[in-house]
Structure 1
Amino acid sequence: MKITETKLKGCFILEPKIHVDDRGLFFESYHKAILEQAIGESINFVQDNISVSKKGVLRGLHFQTGKHAQSKLVQVLKGEVLDVVVDLREQSSTFGQHLILNLSSENKISIFIPKGMAHGFLALTEDVIFTYKCDSHYHKDAERGIKYNDPDLNIDWEKDDLNLIISPKDLELPLWKELQL
């Protein structure tokens, strides 16, 4: 497995080694010791989540705060998404910056997202199955978010041709400048 740090400090791309033969393929999508060595800390995932989305669904930008903040390992099992991560850590040299990547069942890459970052994605294909491991359980009172089209973040979701499907809850998320971290 190849693990590479992104431009966002502490956020890593995981590229599996894929073994192909006449039966199909095999790859290791997660290896605790290898990930911990790359990120330089111990990680204990306690919850796995799966979302299923149709083309045009935009989820995010979400995060949890305080003692319920979550590190995540995200991956697409079916389809393709435009994945977005925003660094919310005020002490970070990449505070306020964002990362955009395509994740798909074809490229099989994962992203490790440390605590203190917001995350969202846009489903680019029908029947997207998206999975993520979390190192802290979901806690409703710690749930926060930033509006996907915040002008200060200026995220290029790259898909003006899609009819976006966004939950009413996500449409009501605050702007970056309104956040109270």
Structure 2
Amino acid sequence: MPRARHVHHLKATRHVDDRGWFCETFSSARMAAIGIEASFVQDNQSWSRRRGTVRGLHFQRPPAAQAKLVSCLRGRILDIVVDLRTGSPTFGHHLAIELGDNGDQIFIPEGFAHGFVTLTDDVLLSYKVSRLFDPGLDSGVAWDDPDLAIAWPLHGTEPILSERDRALPRLSVLESPFAYGGEGPMILISA
């Protein structure tokens, strides 16, 4: 299972020629070389029709907690990661990174909530997860929790949300199932 405790921005290397390009999207050897030992068991995709669609902030509770490897295949998103590890020096803090269809990825370890907003119409996202989806352990945090102070780039428009995401609790009332083990604050590592 995943051992990395930091969020990683994985830069893509594209090999371009007259036909187009080729890009390696997953290598367990590359992941291990940067300290990520993850066994992915499920691949997911989501398609969002409109700019301003917000999905998240989601996580699964143990024993089905998931690490994720997220890629934007079409369009652009602002990806958000929130530290849910109680006792962490960055508990409740978030990171934001823009992902587009350039092949870059973000690795999100267990103990973090994940969400995104679409910056364009017609967004296709792909992500690998380290545990199977378990609807009984599925959870989340309110995307608009003022304590998180996330600057969602909605430019004065109303977000497009699911009813489920509209009903997620604020972090202050959530009993986080994740404990900080001294592995350091949430940081973004580029690799």
Given the two structures, how large is their TM-score scaled by the length of structure 2? 0.86
Secondary structure of residue in 1 paired with 2:63: helix
What is the DSSP-based 3-state SS (H/G/I as helix, E as strand, rest coil) of the residue aligned with 1:141? Answer: coil
Identity %: 43
CA distance in 1, matches of 2:64, 2:88: 19
1:153 corresponding residue in structure 2: 148
* 1:174 matched residue in structure 2: 169
Q: 2-side partners of 1:51 and 1:70: how far apart?
A: 17
Contact 1:45 1:135 in 2 (8 A): yes
Q: Does 1:65 align with 2:61?
A: yes
Separation (CA, whole Å) in 2 of partners of 1:87 and 1:35:
21
Aligned to 1:15: 11
- Structure 2: gaps (5+ residues): 177-191
What residue in structure 2 maps to residue 90 of structure 1? 86
- Between 1:155-164 and 1:56-65, the stretch displaced more is 155-164
Q: Does 1:120 pair with 2:107?
A: no
Whole-angstrom CA distance in 2 between matches of 1:118 and 1:158:
19
| Aligned match of 1:143 | 138
Contact conserved, 1:87 with 1:95, CA < 8 A, in 2? yes
Partner of 2:97: 101
Specify the SS of the correspondent of 1:160.
coil
Higher share in helix: 1
- Residue 110 (1) aligns with residue 110 (2): no
- Structure-to-structure mapping, 1:35-54, within 5 angstroms: 35-40=31-36, 42-54=37-49
**RCO higher in structure (CA 8 A, sep ≥6):** 2
Matched positions, count: 172
Q: Are the equivalent residues in 2 in contact too, given 1:89–1:117 (CA < 8 A)?
A: yes
1:80 aligned to 2:76? yes
Shift of 1:39: 2.4
Q: Secondary structure at the match of 1:66?
A: coil
Please, which moves more after superposition, 160-169 or 9-18?
Answer: 160-169
After superposition, give the CA deviation of every residue in 1:94-130 in whole Å (9 maximum; x if it has no partner).
222100011011x321000000100001111111000
CA distance 1:64–1:39, change in 2 (3 Å) = same
